[in-house]
Structure formats: C-alpha cells, structure tokens
Amino acid sequence: MTDGGKEKSDLADSSKEMDNESKDSSDSSDNEEMDIENDLEAPRAIPISLTVTMPQLKCEKID
C-alpha cells in the first residue's frame, strides 16, 4: 500500500516539474527524459481507468 502512495506522489511531482520545464525550455533534452519517465509511470495509472470503462462498454454492447 505504501508503494502505491509513493508512486502517486511521484507522478504528481514529476508532472509538475515537467510542466515547469516545458514552459521554460521545450527544446531541452532533459525534458525528453522527463517525458520518457512519465510515460513509464503513467501506464500504471491508465489501465485502472481502462478496466473500469471497458466492462461498461461491453455491457452496453451486449444490451
């Protein structure tokens, strides 16, 4: 449970940092690294939404 909490705060922190960095310099190679890090973190959060919406869509199609 504590790992999940840490990941959530990490995600929030890195997205805030990325926002600031992309405003300051969007052509920075550091910024690209932040993008990759966020892409690695994000999929952990995305499947939850997908799993929630997918069954609903399937149920609607069955109806």
Quote the pTM value: 0.13
pLDDT at 28: 47
Domain map (residue ranges) of the chain: 34-63
Q: What is the pLDDT, as a whole number, of residue 5? A: 47
pLDDT of the chain, 63 residues: tens digit per residue: 445 444 455 555 555 555 555 454 445 445 455 555 555 555 555 555 555 555 555 555 565
Give the pLDDT confidence score for residue 49 in this predicted structure.
52
Sign of CA dihedral 40, 42, 45, 49: negative
**Alpha carbon distances (Å) from 2 to 9, 16, 26, 45:** 11, 21, 34, 16
* Helix 29-62 / helix 2-24 crossing angle, nearest 10 deg: 120
